[in-house]
Structure 1
Amino acid sequence: MHPLPTPATQPGRDGLAALLAKPSAATVGLDFDGTLAPIVADPEQARAHPEAVPALAALAPKVASVAVITGRPAAVAVRYGGFDGVLGLEHLTVLGHYGAERWDAATGAVTAPAPHPGVAAVRAELPGVLERAGARRGTWIEEKGRAVAVHTRRADDPQAALEALRGPLTDLATRHGLVVEPGRMVLELRPPGMDKGMALARHVRTTGAEAVLYAGDDLGDLPAFAAVEELRSEGVFGLLVCSGSTEVTELAERADMVVDGPAGVVHLLRALAAQLD
C-alpha cells in the first residue's frame, strides 16, 4: 500500500480532495525529464523511471485524462517513455514541443504544424556562436526538430558555461525570431508562443476537467504552475507538485506538494491509483 502524501497548502488539499472525489472529471499533467525520467548527462539516454509506466497504467483508467507535456518532440518522449501500446494507457496524450505537437495513444499518430523557419537558421549558426564564445568544450547541442538546445552539464563548470552562453544565445535567437528557455544546465532556443502553461490550459479546457494535478521539476514548468493558478481562479481545483531537486528551487517554493524526484512522482501516482481503488 502506498500512503498518499498530504499537500502543504489549503488550495492543494482542496485540489487533491476534488480529484479523489470525482476522478472522472480530473486531468493529470506531467512533465517528462526530471519528473517521469531521471535527469542524465546525455539527454538521448534519458528513459522513464522503471516504475513510471506501470504507475501511469494503474492511474490513467481511473481519471478523465493523462497528458505528458514536454519540450521534447512528441515521438521522442513516447519512445523514451515506453508509452506506446501499453494496456491502461489507451487514452494517454503526449503534448510535445510545449504543445506544438500532439501524440494520442488511441491512434499512435503525431499531429503538428509546419516548423518555424528560424530554427533551421539558428541550427546552422549555432556551432560558430559556441566557438566564438569559447564554449565548445564540454557543451553539447541537442537537436529537437522544432527547437535546438545547448547543454552545459558536461562542462568543467556547468553554471559558468551556462551564464557565458546566455547572452550570445539570446542574441542569436532574437535575430531569428526565437526565444531562449533556460533550464537545468540547458538553454533551449525555440519559437515564441509555445509553453507548457498554454498547452496545459488548452488541454484542461478541452477535456472540461474540474480538477487538475500538474507535476514538474524545471523552470519550463513555471508557466504550467501559473496556468493551474489561473484555472483555480476560474473554479477548477488544482494540485501543484514539484519533483524536487537541488538545481531548481523556484517550483518547490510555489508547489502544494514536493516529492523526491521521479521516484517520488511514481510513489504519488501509485498512491493515487490505490486510493481510487
Structure 2
Amino acid sequence: MLTETGATGLAAIAEDPGGAVIALDFDGTLAPIVSDPSAAWIHPAAPAALIRLAGQVARIAIITGRPPSTALALGDTPEGPDLIDVPGLLILGHYGLERWEGGETVAPPPPSGLDLVRNELPALLATLADGVKIEDKGRAVAVHTRNCADPDATLEALREPVARLAERAGLVVEPGRKVLELRGPGMDKGRALHALLAETAARSVMFVGDDLGDLAAFAAVADSGLPGVRVCSGSSEVAELTEVCDVVVDGPAGVVALLETLHKSIASRDQ
C-alpha cells in the first residue's frame, strides 16, 4: 500500500534529495522489539543503508525515547559500519529533549519528579503485578510488561495507578508497545520534528516509526506543508499507526529495504 500523498512525498525526496530530511524512530524501526530493552540491537544492515542515504539527503535524524548514548551503544553491528559512522547523524533523544551530534550532547536537567518515581514505583508494582521490568533512562522511567504472563492485562491494570504517580511527580505518561513511560512534559516527537524541519529549511520529509509515541511525528509530517511520507514499521501490536501512515513495511528489515530502494531511486536520477 502506498497512498497518493506518500507517492508524492517519495517522488519529491528522489527529485530534490538535498532538501530532504529522513527521520526515524529507533526501537521497532531500526531495531527489533525484544523482551529485554537492553538487547535491542540495530538491524545489521541499517547503518550501511543510512550511510548511503546520508550522502544524498540534507539530514538523517533519529528521534527516540531512548537517550542518544543508548541508541549509539545499541547501534553497533558485529560486522560493517555502526550507527555512529553515519555522516552528519543527529540523534534527538528523550523525544527531543536531548540532542546529540558530532560527539556532543546538549540537554536540560532531568525532571525533579523522577526521584519520587524511583522511590515509589518499585513498591507500587510489587503490589500489582509480577514480571514487570523497570527501565531507568536517566530522564525518564519506563515500565515494561512484555515479560509478564499476560502483558496486555497487566498494562491495563497499571495505567491508572501509574498515571496517578506521574501526576504527583509532575510527569506525563507515554504509552507504547507493552510499556508505560513516565517522563517530563513539554516535548514530543512531533515538536522535535517540526523544529528540525525549520532548522534545516527542509523541502521534503520522511518519518519512520512503529509506536504510539510516533503518532505526533506522523502528524508533524502532515502539518508541515511539505511533501512528505509517513512510514509505519508494521506490527500487530499498534494498529493505530497503519491508519495514518502512507506505507507499511515489515519491521526493521522492511525499513532497511525501503531505505535502500530510496537510495537507488535517488542515485538513478543523478546518472
Would you call these one fold, judging by a TM-score over 0.5?
yes
Which runs of no fewer than 5 residues in structure 2 stay unpaired? 77-81
2:95 matched to which residue of 1?
98
CA distance in 1, matches of 2:241, 2:22: 17
Match of 1:4 in 2: none
Query: How many angstroms apart in 2 are the aligned matches of 1:8 and 1:51?
Result: 24
1:78-125: CA deviation from partner (whole Å, max 9, x where unpaired) = 111134552xx2201000000000111xx2111111111011211111
Instruction: Please name the residue that 2:43 is paired with.
Output: 49
The answer to whether residue 82 in structure 2 is matched with residue 124 in structure 1 is: no
Q: Which runs of 4+ in 1 moved over 3 A?
A: none
Q: Secondary structure at the match of 1:81?
A: coil
* 123, 137, 145: which one aligns with 1:152: 145
8 A contact 1:101–1:110 mirrored in 2: yes
How far apart are 1:132 and its partner, in Å?
A: 2.6
Q: How many residues align?
A: 262
Q: 2:65 aligns with which of 52, 65, 71?
A: 71
Q: Does 1:36 align with 2:30?
A: yes
What is the aligned partner in structure 2 of residue 270 from structure 1? Answer: 260
**Where does the alignment leave 5 or more consecutive residues of structure 1 unmatched?**
1-6
**For 1:62, what is the secondary structure of its paired residue?**
coil
The SS at the match of 1:116 is coil
* Structure 1 contact 147–191 (Cα < 8 Å) conserved: yes
| Rounded Cα–Cα distance in structure 2 between residues aligned with 1:65 and 1:218 | 22
- Name the structure 1 match of 2:79: none
Q: Which residue pairs with 1:184 in the alignment? A: 177
| Contact 2:75/2:84 (<8 A) preserved | no
2:29 and 2:159 map into 1 onto residues whose CA distance is: 25
**What is the TM-score of this pair, normalised by structure 2?**
0.95
1:15 paired with 2:15, answer no
- Secondary structure of the 1:102 match is strand
Structure 1 equivalent of residue 246 of structure 2: 256
Structure 2 CA distance for aligned equivalents of residues 81 and 194 of structure 1 = 24
- TM-score, normalised via structure 1 length: 0.93
Question: For residues 85 and 174 of structure 1, what CA distance do their matches in structure 2 show?
Answer: 36
Q: RMSD in angstroms over aligned alpha carbons?
A: 1.0
1:227-267 deviations in Å (ceiling 9; x for gaps) = 111102xxx11100000001111111111010000000000
User: Which of the numbers 178, 195, 202 marks the counterpart of 1:202?
Assistant: 195
Which one of the candidate residues 208, 216, 222 is aligned to 2:209?
Answer: 216
Assess, with a 3 A threshold, how the Cα gap between structure 1 residues 219 and 85 changes in structure 2: closer, same or farther.
closer
Which amino acid in the other structure matches residue 175 of structure 1?
R
Tell whether the 8 Å contact from 2:72 to 2:84 is kept in structure 1 after alignment.
Answer: no
